[in-house]
Amino acid sequence: MSELSLFPLTAEVNKKNHLMIGGCDTTELADEFGTPLYIFDEVSLRNKCAEFINEFSQRYADTSVIYACKAFMNKAIALILAEEGLGLDVVSAGELSIAQSIGFPMSKVYFHGNNKLADELRLALNYGIGRIVVDNFHELAMLGEIAAETGNKPDILLRLTPGVDPHTHKYIATGIIDSKFGFPLPSGERAVSQAMNTPGLNLTGLHFHLGSLIFGKEPYLEAIDYILSFAAEMKQKYNFQLMELDVGGGFALQYTADSPAPPISFYAEAITAKIINKCRELKLVLPRLVVEPGRAVIGQAGVALYKVGVVKDIPNVRCYVSVDGGMADNIRPALYGSKYEAVVANKLSEKRTKKVTIAGRFCESGDVLIKDIDLPLISAGDFIAVPDCGAYCLPMASNYNASLKPAIVLVKKGKARLIRRRETFDDLIRHDVI
């Protein structure tokens, strides 16, 4: 069935008409681990890691693929990423500490963020982090002072905002001039000069990130053109050598049947060809290329599984199907207006004869996961499976209405492994003080 193409690579229908992921019956997983439940398919995750490395490196040998942890990371996921040869893009001491806890190679970790704290920078230097992506003049001066105090000389990149519109949601557009992130390109020269004249810092390259869910190649090509031209100018004025060019991530993921995303090869071909041709034109040595996918690596690997409770049919208005999760575990529909598909996991091949709206259980009218979707007839006790939930659902999860954050399982070859237990009521009050 066509809906399965949005699910992990191992998705299939068994003889009971149930959804299978990683050789596991999702209804049996629900019975064993409870719902809401997030299921990650190990095969899909590893396949996507390898695909990114292969598609870029075969076109541009000196490529590093750095996974954007903000999409989702815990210890088990970090171990898989390390085994697959990816680096990490972290944006907090918390993400950095998860990486350190499993012995992730710190030389392959890049530290981002528009307001890094002094203690975070000290921790990063103490861990021997690979790169610090400097975002602003305040951070540039602070890092220089900390490096001098500690005797470290970190390799840094400067994050530039090239003023390119990625044609995505305004909340996830980060490369425009009106952005909290990065040095606006007009102030880039002063940033290069200051970085090169700070004894404790080693400026190795430049970085930009345009946003998320970018379906076209043009924003990347435009930004690369601006940044490489800027690098050539800085070479002439300051003898700046561009050793690394980090083009960020933002590669699209298909969330719905009517929004196909380009293959990774589409981005890889466009980005690498542009860099090679532009460097040849400007007489620049080819820099190391760094790409930072997050959603495009892990998004399809994750599935959210819910149990149906109340079905409220308002004649001639709407049929609400309420599930036992919602905006507390996936705020994206409420925050961004994000759209998803869904299936009834225990009625996978039945005809879709009823238009319904899948609502969450939380005290907000905006707690709606999917509006107006055709599904089979649904009753209390059925299971709803939502694909493409591997990215940004769990990292932005909350305890709204004092709800418990869901359990997470990793599936492969018919076996399910718990990689995060469901929260308990004791967890909710653990940090309260009377």
**Contact of 245 with 206, CB cutoff 8 Å:** yes
The residue annotated as part of the active site, out of 69, 279, 319, 363, is 363
Tell whether omega for the bond before 36 is within 30 degrees of 0, i.e. cis: yes
**Residue 258 DSSP label:** T
> Residue 30 corresponds to which amino acid?
A
| Dihedral, CA of residue 116, residue 120, residue 122 and residue 125, to nearest 10 | -90
* SS3 annotation, 335-374: HHCCCCCCEECCCCCCCCCEEEEEECCCCCCCCEEEEEEE
First to last CA, the chain: 55
3-state secondary structure of 176: coil
User: DSSP H helical segments within 244-299, as ranges?
Assistant: 264-282, 295-298
For 12, 22, 352, 385, the CA distances from 3, given in Å and listed in that order, are 10, 17, 12, 11
- Whether 393 sits among the annotated catalytic residues: the reply is no
The SS3 of residue 233 is helix
- Which tokens sit at 418? 């718990």
- 141 close to 168: Cβ distance less than 8 angstroms: no
- Residues 245, 78, 166, CA angle at the centre, nearest 5°? 40
How many Å apart are CA 141 and CA 118, to the nearest integer? Answer: 11
Q: Would you name the residues annotated as active-site residues?
A: 363
